[in-house]
Structure 1
Amino acid sequence: MGFDGDEETAPQNPKYLKSKFRYNSPFVQVSLIGLVCFCCPGMFNALSGMGGGGQVDHTAANNTNTALYATFAVFGVLGGGIYNILGPHLTLAAGCSTYILYAGSFLYYNHHKHQAFAIDAGALLGVGAGLLWAGQGAIMTSYPPAHRKGVYISLFGSIFNMGGVIGGLIPFLTNFKRSEAASVNDGTYIGFMVFMAAGTALSFAILPPSKVIREDGTRCTHIQYSNVSTEAVEIVKLFLNWKMLLIVPAAWSSIFFYTYQFNNVNATLFNLRTRGFNNVFYWGAQMLGSVAIGYLMDFSFESRRKRGIAGVCVVALLGTAIWGGGLANQRRYSIKDPLPPLDFKDSGRDFAGPFVLYFSYGLLDAMFQSMVYWVIGALADDSEILGSPPISHTVNYKEEPFGCWYVGFYKGVQSAGAAAAWQVDTQKVSYMSQLIVNWSLTTISYPLLLILVLLAVKDNHKNEEGTAKEADPTSAGSAYT
């Protein structure tokens, strides 16, 4: 399908390089990592979106997810260094395999109601997720052309979130005739496991960065993998990096709200089959959101800094409106005063408002996450800095660390926030208090991200814009035309 050999014999045929369907093109490789995440974290998201892991009692799922995100908080930070040492195949395959065990633990719980296996599987998944998302972060920040990162983030987000859409159909279809059921059946968990196994196998199709060739003929990196001591030093430096400190509130809040949305909106307001129905649209909204924000942050202005400012402001305004709608909805019910579960077929107009709100939560989530990823990808002056391990005689790593370290730091802080959120729900904190905390955390992050864009995002760097225009005079347009 495409060339993946040595640099010296790499084809320089312009027609070959222009083809985005080459096996070693950034387009294909980003699509492949999207499919891997479609099968593994995409299905995990669908399972989590059911609320309580598909169980009527949320306690087991809350404790399992606390263990998951506690280990994820550690390995989200360490994952970048592990990726640099092991490379994509071992890192991604090891990470993906833990998702299968996690889904299997809930299949076991369906019969035995013992939390221990599920909690252990959750802790192991936290390790695996740290590895998987470090690999994903390295690919997303270094494989795409620097002037089209938003488009490629949108491509990934669309494929990845389709996993949540398909994953939402699994419990919806397998439990369609069980309108009064409280917990999902075995077939639901088995279906998730089949997809996760396919994603593990597909991870071996991802090429290392040295074999990926962009349309202008450049490779993502020519530098060999690092060693343990160098990785450890660079990871520690992240905690002293002022740019990373500005990202902390956004990272902490970015999936903190999942607990509230999945357990206290979807699982509390709707019956079992409707929760699966809602998830189809929640993750479908994520696809729309990732495409919309990606286009805005790549094509809205010629100035990269202005695009970043526009993206943050649009997400801030939309987030304020959606959380305001959530506040109006939350005033109707509480832990002590619940509402009768809604059904998508039988509840009529009462179903419409909460459904639209849940759809909007999905839209906002994708736009928020993609916006932060764009900022991370734009932090480096040269795209090779984001895509290369630290041992190099051509790149000064005193200026910028490896992209997957940035993403790993983001995922680590994000996971620490999620671990706290699941335990907040376990302690039966009021729904209104959870909503206010979620809204406040995301609101605090917007001005800090604006400061980061203004101070750290380089505007129209010659290497970024010039190289692209020399390679392709039409590069100001869409990367897909």
Structure 2
Amino acid sequence: MYNALTGMGGSGQVDGTVAANANVALLSATAATALLVVGPLFARVGPRVCLLLGGWTYPLYSGSLLCFNSTANGAFVIAAGAILGIGASCLWVSQGAIMTTYVPESQKGRAIAAFWIIFNLGGGVGSLASFGLNYHSKNQTVSDGTYIALMIIMAIGWILGILICPPSSVRVAQLQTTAESEKNWKKGAMLTFHTMCNWRVLCILPLFFSANVFYSYQQNVVNGETFNIRTRSLNGAFYWIAQMFGGLLMGLILDMPWFNRQTRARIAWVFVFVTGMAIWGGGYAFQKWSDKRMANGHKQDIDYTQGGISAGPILLYIFYGGYDAVWQSFCYWLMGAQSNSPAVAAILVGAYKSLQAAGGAMAWRINAQGKPAMTQFAMNWGLCMGALVVAIPSVLAVTLTNADNSEGRQDNEKPIEEDKA
């Protein structure tokens, strides 16, 4: 539902500056807490408590936007964004640890794909609901009913977190649980240090940093400045639905039974690089066209019914969504290829979310400052392709099984058993 909200461009407001600054606060808070605070916290209290600690902050943020519609209280939106950043750390660290360790090694690609389909089904449904609620809207701000509907669904999702199972209840032969005697802050800090100092991890950190830099450009520039409000909502649905297919495709590639894990890693890297160059290349053509339109005063004026002019930009936005899923699925799979321990996975996901948030905060701040769209585009393309190049050593070092990755394993963890699934 949060994706549906942000995917409308400016979180459904005419002026996206407040939403952009709220995102800066959100991502800065996530960057500050995900690795050093929530990662060790997860090792102590587990996924259920983390999810319950973080979930309530999502309806709070939607409520702040509802308030903004009536009071124009931008400070409340920004403060709610900062609180949501801490809550998002709890939610995403838990989610990532569950997704990458609660399944056998041979099924991690499928687990990522299943998550991505469910995750983006929410964004797609939420965007379609917004499209219906704002179909006859004559202004460029979404209705109060949109924010209220999203708040209700977010609250239900938060309550469902109570049903999450702890690692000790999961029956997977390869799962490496942490003994109760190892659950203390000192050992957690040492595990974090050893995990992050692994050179395989260091080489994929630029991938983490780049994983959110393109959202501000795609949502506020490509979608937010090009289309009217109902088309932005419809595009948001297409964007998240495309992510479902992108995650499914990447999951199939990463779990191909005909190749071993090392070969799958290399095939996946080539796929991410080639598709990235093709999609960003199409984005360059769009941005040159868009700059000319903006110079002539055309902004937020294209409706989806204008097929001759809307089809190309809508299709590009769909491909941007699909590529986001491809990118992040690849990142998660590389994290899952490091260890089968939920504690280690929580640290890696914490690092992922911290760096992802830092990159996103930088990009949203640049967007809020009104930097030229072509500058934002060039930054996104360059960071993404450069990060893939830096990650090559880690991709080439992927082992046949996590039993070969002895670095960073806790003393009480035994070598991984053969996959019995």
**Same fold flag (TM > 0.5):** yes
- Relative to structure 1, the CA distance from residue 435 to residue 222 in structure 2 (aligned partners, 3 Å threshold; closer, same or farther) is closer
* Alignment correspondent of 1:420: 362
Q: 1:226 to 1:466 in 2, by over 3 A?
A: closer
SS at match of 1:331: helix
Q: Distance in 1 between matches of 2:15 and 2:128?
A: 22
Tell me, yes or no, if the aligned pair for 1:210 and 1:220 is still in contact at 8 Å.
no
Q: One-letter code of the match for 2:354?
A: G
2:238 aligns to what? 281
**Alignment of structure 1 residues 8-407 onto 2, 5 Å:** 43-77=1-35, 78-178=37-137, 180-214=138-172, 221=177, 223-224=179-180, 226-299=183-256, 301-334=258-291, 336-340=295-299, 341-345=301-305, 347-380=306-339, 383=340, 386-387=341-342, 389=343, 402-407=344-349
Whether the 8 Å contact between 1:210 and 1:223 is mirrored in structure 2 is: no
Residues 210 and 219, structure 1, Cα contact 8 Å, conserved in 2: no
Q: CA deviation at 1:349?
A: 1.3
Q: Which moved more, 1:310-319 or 1:445-454?
A: 445-454
Q: Is the 8 A contact 2:131 2:231 kept in 1?
A: yes
Query: In 2, Cα distance between the equivalents of 1:338 and 1:322?
Result: 27
Off by >6 Å, runs of 4+ in structure 1:
461-466
Q: Would you say the 8 A contact 2:10–2:16 is kept in 1?
A: yes
Q: How far off its partner does 1:406 sit?
A: 0.6
Among residues 407, 415, 418, which one is paired with 1:467 in the alignment? 418
Quick one: distance in 1 between partners of 2:168 and 2:32?
28
**Correspondence for 2:386 among 431, 439, 444:** 444
Deviation at 1:427, TM superposition (A): 1.2
Task: Give the Cα separation in 2 of the matches to 1:327 and 1:219.
Answer: 44
What secondary structure, in the 3-state scheme, does the structure 2 residue paired with 1:299 have?
A: coil
**8 Å CA contact 1:293, 1:370 repeated in 2:** yes
Matched letter for residue 102 of structure 1: Y
CA positional deviation for 1:66: 0.5
Ranked by relative contact order (alpha carbons within 8 Å, sequence separation 6 or more), the top structure is 2
Give how far 1:462 is off: 7.2
Q: 1:95 touches 1:132 (CA, 8 Å); kept in 2?
A: yes
CA distance in 1, matches of 2:417, 2:112: 22
Matches of 1:142 and 1:343 in 2, distance apart? 44
Q: Deviation digits for residues 79-129 of structure 1, max 9, x if unmatched?
A: 211111122221101111110101000000010001111111100000000
Q: Which amino acid counterpart does residue 202 of structure 1 have in structure 2?
A: L
Letter in 1 for 2:19: A
For normalisation by structure 1, the TM-score amounts to: 0.81
Task: Please tell me the residue identity of whatever aligns with 1:353.
Answer: G
Preserved contact between residue 147 and residue 465 of structure 1 (Cα < 8 Å): no
Q: In structure 2, what is the Cα distance between the partners aligned to 1:465 and 1:291?
A: 27
Q: Decide whether the 8 Å contact of 2:66 with 2:148 is kept in 1.
A: yes
Give the AA of the match of 2:151.
Answer: M
Q: 1:246: Cα distance to partner?
A: 1.2
Contact 2:105 2:401 survives alignment (8 Å)? no
Alignment size in residue pairs: 406
Indicate how the Cα distance of structure 1 residues 433 and 222 shifts in structure 2: closer, same or farther if over 3 A, else same: closer
Contact persistence 1:282–1:361 (CA under 8 A): yes
Q: Using the TM superposition, give the Cα deviation of residue 232 of structure 1 relative to its aligned residue in structure 2, in angstroms.
A: 3.0
Distance 1:326 1:300 in 2: 34
SS of corresponding position for 2:171: coil
| C-alpha distance in structure 2 between counterparts of 1:71 and 1:239, whole Å | 20
Q: Is the 8 A contact 2:207 2:387 kept in 1?
A: yes
**Alpha-carbon distance, 1:460 to partner:** 5.0
- Structure 2: gaps of 5 or more residues: 405-414
Letter in 1 for 2:374: M
Instruction: Give the secondary-structure state (helix, strand or coil) at the position aligned to 1:213.
Output: coil
CA distance in 2, matches of 1:280, 1:461: 37
**Structure 2 residue identity aligned to 1:459:** L
Q: Which amino acid aligns with 2:177?
A: T
C-alpha distance in structure 2 between counterparts of 1:99 and 1:460, whole Å: 37
- Report what 1:453 is aligned to: 395
The equivalent of 1:38 in structure 2 is none
Q: CA RMSD in A?
A: 1.9
2-structure distance, mates of 1:301, 1:314: 17
CA offsets per residue over residues 385-429 of structure 1, 9 Å max, x none?
Answer: x22x4xxxxxxxxxxxx1110111011000001111111011111
State the Cα distance separating 1:223 from its structure 2 match.
2.5
Measured against aligned partners, the alpha-carbon deviations of 1:435-472 in whole angstroms (never above 9, x if no partner) come to 011000000111222210212x112567999722xx35
Report if the CA contact (8 A) 1:212-1:220 is conserved.
no
Report if the CA contact (8 A) 2:60-2:80 is conserved: yes
CA displacement, residues 1-52 of structure 1 (integer Å, 9 cap, x when unaligned):
xxxxxxxxxxxxxxxxxxxxxxxxxxxxxxxxxxxxxxxxxx1111111111
Q: Indicate if the aligned counterparts of 1:175 and 1:184 stay in contact, CA closer than 8 A.
A: yes
Q: Distance in 2 between matches of 1:142 and 1:62?
A: 34
Unaligned residue ranges in structure 1 (runs of 5+)? 1-42, 390-401, 473-481
Which moved further from structure 2: 440-449 or 96-105? 440-449
